[in-house]
């Protein structure tokens, strides 16, 4: 196994070429564009990316020479799945969670959010069905995600 750390400095176009490595990251890790990470096969990489928004599953990164391609993947993480008896109840749950600035992945019949026992209790007390799962998490980026002050 090669012990050399791969320094990833830029995003690359998805031009159909296969990425040589896969880098699974949680939703939080996809927002941090600097630091050491480990690919799915155990290779160490160092992110030194310009601050141009969070990484998304499917994004491609490369080193300075463009000789290595690394594809970003959503890593499975511990989540709460929230289901309701009606669309209005689910909308109300999303409203209350949004007031608490909780990251949410929205679906027509369910919400996904990071596993948190306090939030699970609050949701259950509102009559919602809450279960735990472990899967990739792709929360909404928020209203101002692409906005910049400059």
Q: Domains (ranges, CATH) in the chain?
A: 6-74 (2.60.260.20), 76-136 (3.30.70.790)
- Alpha carbons within 13 angstroms on the beta-carbon side of residue 120 total 12
The residues near 111 (Cβ < 8 Å, ≥ 6 apart) are 81, 82, 90, 93, 94, 97, 104, 105
Per-residue pLDDT reduced to its tens digit, 46-87: 999 998 889 999 999 999 998 999 999 999 999 999 999 999
Per-residue pLDDT reduced to its tens digit, 140-149: 986 555 543 3
Helix axes 117-125, 87-99, angle to 10 degrees: 140
How high is the pLDDT of residue 13? Answer: 83
Length of the chain: 150
Query: pTM for this one?
Result: 0.82
How high is the pLDDT of residue 20? Answer: 86
d(CA 4, CA 44): 8
How high is the pLDDT of residue 39? Answer: 96
């Amino acid at each position: 196994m090669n012990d050399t750390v791969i320094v990833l400095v830029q995003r690359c176009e998805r031009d159909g070429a296969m990425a040589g490595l896969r880098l699974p990251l949680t939703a939080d890790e996809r927002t941090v564009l600097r630091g050491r990470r480990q690919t799915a096969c155990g290779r160490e990489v160092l992110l030194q990316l310009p601050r141009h928004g969070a990484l998304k599953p499917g994004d491609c990164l490369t080193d300075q020479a463009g000789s290595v391609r690394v594809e970003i993947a959503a890593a499975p993480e511990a989540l709460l799945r929230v289901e309701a008896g009606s669309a209005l109840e689910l909308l109300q749950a999303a409203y209350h969670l949004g007031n608490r600035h909780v990251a949410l992945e929205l679906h027509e019949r369910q919400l996904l959010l990071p596993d948190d026992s306090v939030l699970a209790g609050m949701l259950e007390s509102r009559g919602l069905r809450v279960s735990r799962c472990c899967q990739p998490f792709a929360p909404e980026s928020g209203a101002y995600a692409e906005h910049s002050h400059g």
